[in-house]
Chains A and B, each alone.
Chain A
Amino acid sequence: MVFSSIVFLYLYLPITLIIYFLTPARYRNIWLFIVNLIFYGWGEPVYIILMLASILLNYVAGLFIGKYREKKKKTAKNVLAINIVLNIGLLIFFKYIDFIIRCLKIIPFFAGMKELGVALPIGISFYTFQAMSYPIDVYKGETQYQKSFLKFGTYVALFPQLIAGPIVRYTDVAKDLEKREVHVTRIAKGIRKFMIGLAKKVLLANNIGQLWDVYNAMEPSGMSVVGAWIGAFAFTFQIYFDFSGYSDMAIGLGEMLGFSFPPNFDYPYISKSITEFWRRWHISLGTWFRDYVYIPLGGNRKGIKRQLLNIWIVWSLTGLWHGASVNFLLWGIYYGVLLTIEKLFLYKTLKKASSVFTHIYTMFFVVIGWMIFAIEDMRHLVKYLGVMFGIGSEGILSSQALYYLRDYGIVFVILIFACLPAGKYLYGKMKDSVKNLLVPAAIAIVLLLCTAYLVDSTYNPFLYFRF
């Protein structure tokens, strides 16, 4: 199930919340566990089994590690190692097996292999990372092990962050699992955050996404230079508002239920360097790789050569985490290279440079990066990037580009504004009397407008009745 759907907004959410609020605090985890599984099983019911297996695997590992970590350190370590292998094994099997087979087929010896056609379980990349954080943290002594299967299961399958993040670690919510504060102020705060996220996803991301669909489907040789950049910016906005909108909705839903999730985006497009960009973009993923891969590998403590190697490992993995395809690997390495350059010398220079330059520098590489991310077909990607720089393009500016600029002009202005902290700043300056009117009005308008867009997306007149 996705948040931006009629079935979630007008059926799942009201039932879940009303029964949750009416249930006494100590039984709420049971209700949550049930609705989590319904949420997860809605699309692919068989994968509930996989989810339960993942919960059981990490629950048992946590028990063992928690019991042995003091007395038999070695046993605990072995259990952890086996657990990590199993977790990664599941992820590889369900997400990467066909990609690996496709790569192997290039070697003549393996040419006869067949792809398995495994359907990707929704959210597996997210919940595997979430669940894995638990035995590792228990081993490191950062948290107590969880005795209750129900509570641990409620955490792993928690529907708000289950399928698109943020990557919530067990330590983030360990306290909330035992006891949660649910009160009016918090619920209202959650609703406001949820509405912001819903608006980002349905009104902004889906809207500009249509423009990217147009350019993505087009043959690059028919595009003008300006057109190719319009398309690239369309995707740049789409991915940000889609992803951060989803995170906002998750955080808001968490608040309504009494959970505090870590923030995931912090105005990434105002960054003045790539280093800063990655501190503001998908924060929970960046810190996950930092804490569970980069630092265990030695981080920056073993000399610059080792540090650079670690950076490269982390970024190749970050790339692949986003999808089982060569372009994602390439995208990760692209950032590995950029971050290496900044680490070696550029970052210091950027700090002294004018902010106009540093903003343009950052967005330039971010936008190019998104094209590597968005276009899976290498030949198409090379052609598209070429057109962006005038190679093989159909002129600088075409009437087609003008058409889309005119049609999406206002939308682009709104998108740029929404990328900046200006709205938050204005809201902070607002008088309470204005807020008291504005906030309820905004909730109603956003909810109704989003409903209109969601209903329209399934509006499908059958016109061939009479031709």
Chain B
Amino acid sequence: MKKYQDLIQIILFMGIITGFMAAMFVLKDKTFSEQENRVLNQTPKVTVKGITSGKWMEQFEACLTDQFPGRDTWVGIKSYSERLSGKTENNAVFFCQDDTLIKRFDEPDSELVEKNIMAVNQLVENTDLPVYFSLIPGAVSIWDEKLPKYAQNYDQRALIDEIYSKVNCKTVDTYSRLRQHKNEYIFYRTDHHWTTRGAYYGSTAIAEAFGMEVEPLDSYSSEVVSDSFYGTVYSSSGVRWVKPDVIEKFIPKEGKTVQKFVGDTPADGEFYDYEKLKVKDKYAFFFGGNTPLIKITSDTDRDKKLLVIRDSYSDSEIPFLTEYFSEIYMMDLRYYKFGVKYFLEKYDVDAVLVNYSVSNFVEDKNIVMAGK
């Protein structure tokens, strides 16, 4: 091999490594990654203790990789490369049919599941009100036909049956209802949530469990509020070759008032938050994001008050429930720290609904608060 060929190789290699090093020095640290939905590590301050303990080096390395130029692009390259090498899974997300990304569901921690079941049973014991319990299966279970062949997942259907057999309250068969409509666009292809349409079917299962007559879907007019939604599964998969999701709304916000509670003090809240459609996390369109407690009053003729202890799947489902309940409280146990008992003493409701997606119910450590 000729000498100038060697020189080319040296220049190429040194050029790439010094080029990126220079870029790192020149570029300013970013503080937040939308794609990853987290605060990025910043250059740590130099201290003697930090250096001698090795802590500084650790933080520095974390910062360096967080701030590496073109971070999101590298992640995209990696997932392409994985697909090229025949993989059907990247970062625990399956590449599925119809441009769909579905998060893998692994065997849950059985101890935590038992704890959460006990918390629900404790809640039933603490109150004389009727308690309803609904577990919402994910796309991994309802859309299992879209998964790659032989894909390995823990069976959510069996898990729901097992949990339902252990709780002492009325249960809602959301699974069967969603399964009946599996050929419709009921889950986002790039997010772990259900679509507004999926949420509608979920709400009909709840209405039936309460013995109410269900409103048909075509009694509402639908409106597309966003056609450029890339959700959380898109972020974690690193996949960049799928088309975005569409967010719809069915229920008009007219006739509803929303109050957000900080402590026991109410403040005005949004039924739909159009500002959120401009940022990455567009699902926050429904009620505008995390709040410990929200109260929705609607102009329905039915006079019934409901407490929903819930995760974010309820955000798109509650608008439909305003047809059946005149007052709905939505409680998020991650942020509402007074306990359900305190709430029930203070506020007036006719029934309690525990409404969780399967994956959150078996993973969330805050559900113990339901029994407190």
A interface residues (Cβ-Cβ under 8 A, vs B): 5-7, 9-11, 13-15, 17-18, 42-46, 184-185, 187-189, 191-192, 195, 207, 399-400, 402-403, 406-411, 414, 432, 435-436, 439-440, 443-444, 447-449, 451-456, 458-463, 465-467
Q: Are B236 and A461 in contact (CB under 8 A)?
A: yes
Q: Are A188 and B7 in contact (CB under 8 A)?
A: yes
B192's nearest neighbour on chain A, judged by CB, is A463
Contacts of A42 in B (CB 8 A): 54, 57
Question: A453 is contacted by which of B78, B148, B364 (Cβ under 8 Å)?
Answer: B78
Contacts of B68 in A (CB 8 A): 6, 10, 451, 455
7 closest cross-chain pairs (CB), A and B: A188-B6, A403-B150, A462-B38, A410-B86, A455-B74, A452-B77, A456-B78
B42 at the interface (CB under 8 A from A): no
Q: Are A456 and B74 in contact (CB under 8 A)?
A: yes
**Chain B positions 319-370 with a Cβ under 8 Å from a chain A Cβ:** 357, 360, 364
CA distance A456 to B90 in the complex (A): 10
B66 at the interface (CB under 8 A from A): yes
Q: What is the number of contacts between chain A and chain B, taking CB atoms within 8 Å?
A: 177
Contacts of A453 in B (CB 8 A): 78, 81
Contacts of A6 in B (CB 8 A): 61, 64-65, 68
CA distance A392 to B78 in the complex (A): 38
A405's nearest neighbour on chain B, judged by CB, is B150
Contacts of A45 in B (CB 8 A): 51-54, 57
User: 9 A-B pairs, CB-CB below 8 angstroms?
Assistant: A14-B17, A14-B18, A187-B6, A447-B13, A452-B77, A455-B65, A463-B192, A465-B290, A467-B357
- For chain B, the count of residues having a C-beta within 8 Å of the partner chain is 68
B88 at the interface (CB under 8 A from A): yes
B14 at the interface (CB under 8 A from A): yes
Question: A13 is contacted by which of B17, B74, B91 (Cβ under 8 Å)?
Answer: B17
Contacts of B294 in A (CB 8 A): none
CA distance A17 to B81 in the complex (A): 30
Q: Are B17 and A443 in contact (CB under 8 A)?
A: no
A400's nearest neighbour on chain B, judged by CB, is B152
CA distance A411 to B89 in the complex (A): 14
**Chain B positions 238-275 with a Cβ under 8 Å from a chain A Cβ:** 238
B interface residues (Cβ-Cβ under 8 A, vs A): 1-3, 5-10, 12-14, 16-18, 20-21, 24, 35-38, 51-54, 57, 60-62, 64-66, 68, 71, 74-75, 77-79, 81, 85-89, 91, 148-152, 192, 232, 235-236, 238, 281, 283-284, 289-290, 311-313, 357, 360, 364
Classify the interface of chain A: helix, strand, loop or mixed. helix
Q: Are A452 and B74 in contact (CB under 8 A)?
A: yes
Contacts of A451 in B (CB 8 A): 20, 68, 74
B312 to chain A, nearest CB (A): 4
Question: A407 is contacted by which of B54, B79, B81, B87 (Cβ under 8 Å)?
Answer: B87
Contacts of A408 in B (CB 8 A): 86-87
Contacts of B64 in A (CB 8 A): 6-7, 10-11
Q: Are A43 and B54 in contact (CB under 8 A)?
A: yes
Q: Are A460 and B38 in contact (CB under 8 A)?
A: yes
Contacts of A46 in B (CB 8 A): 52
Contacts of B1 in A (CB 8 A): 188, 432, 435-436
Q: Are A191 and B13 in contact (CB under 8 A)?
A: yes
Q: Are A460 and B36 in contact (CB under 8 A)?
A: yes
Q: Are B312 and A461 in contact (CB under 8 A)?
A: no
Contacts of A410 in B (CB 8 A): 85-86
Contacts of A18 in B (CB 8 A): 14, 18
B41's nearest neighbour on chain A, judged by CB, is A458
B104 to chain A, nearest CB (A): 11
Extra contacts besides A10-B17, A407-B87, A455-B74 (5): CB < 8 Å = A439-B5, A440-B12, A451-B20, A456-B238, A467-B357
Contacts of A402 in B (CB 8 A): 149-150
Q: Given contacts A18-B18, A399-B150, A432-B1, are A409 and B12 in contact (CB under 8 A)?
A: no
CA distance A408 to B36 in the complex (A): 27
Q: Given contacts A13-B17, A449-B81, A467-B360, are A461 and B51 in contact (CB under 8 A)?
A: no
CA distance A407 to B92 in the complex (A): 13
A185's nearest neighbour on chain B, judged by CB, is B6
A6 to chain B, nearest CB (A): 5
CA distance A42 to B12 in the complex (A): 28
CA distance A462 to B113 in the complex (A): 22
Question: A459 is contacted by which of B60, B62, B238 (Cβ under 8 Å)?
Answer: B238
Q: Are A400 and B150 in contact (CB under 8 A)?
A: yes
Contacts of A14 in B (CB 8 A): 14, 17-18, 21
Contacts of B52 in A (CB 8 A): 45-46
CA distance A409 to B235 in the complex (A): 26
Contacts of A13 in B (CB 8 A): 17
Q: Are B36 and A461 in contact (CB under 8 A)?
A: yes
A134 to chain B, nearest CB (A): 29
Contacts of B78 in A (CB 8 A): 452-453, 455-456
A47's nearest neighbour on chain B, judged by CB, is B54
A323 to chain B, nearest CB (A): 23
Q: Are B24 and A406 in contact (CB under 8 A)?
A: no
CA distance A412 to B51 in the complex (A): 42
Contacts of B3 in A (CB 8 A): 184-185
Question: B75 is contacted by which of A10, A407, A455 (Cβ under 8 Å)?
Answer: A455
Q: Given contacts A439-B9, A447-B16, are A466 and B289 in contact (CB under 8 A)?
A: yes
Contacts of B13 in A (CB 8 A): 191, 195, 443, 447
B55's nearest neighbour on chain A, judged by CB, is A45
Q: Are A449 and B9 in contact (CB under 8 A)?
A: no
Q: Are A406 and B18 in contact (CB under 8 A)?
A: no
A278 to chain B, nearest CB (A): 32
A189's nearest neighbour on chain B, judged by CB, is B6
B29 to chain A, nearest CB (A): 15
CA distance A42 to B53 in the complex (A): 10
Contacts of A10 in B (CB 8 A): 17, 20-21, 24, 64, 68
Q: Are A403 and B238 in contact (CB under 8 A)?
A: no
Contacts of A439 in B (CB 8 A): 5, 9
Question: A411 is contacted by which of B9, B37, B85 (Cβ under 8 Å)?
Answer: B85
Contacts of A444 in B (CB 8 A): 12, 16
Q: Are B53 and A403 in contact (CB under 8 A)?
A: no
Q: Are A461 and B21 in contact (CB under 8 A)?
A: no
Q: Are B89 and A456 in contact (CB under 8 A)?
A: no
Q: Are A17 and B235 in contact (CB under 8 A)?
A: no
A216 to chain B, nearest CB (A): 15
Q: Are B150 and A458 in contact (CB under 8 A)?
A: no
CA distance A400 to B64 in the complex (A): 38
CA distance A109 to B17 in the complex (A): 58
- Give the residue among A7, A9, A189, A410 with the most B Cβ atoms within 10 A: A7
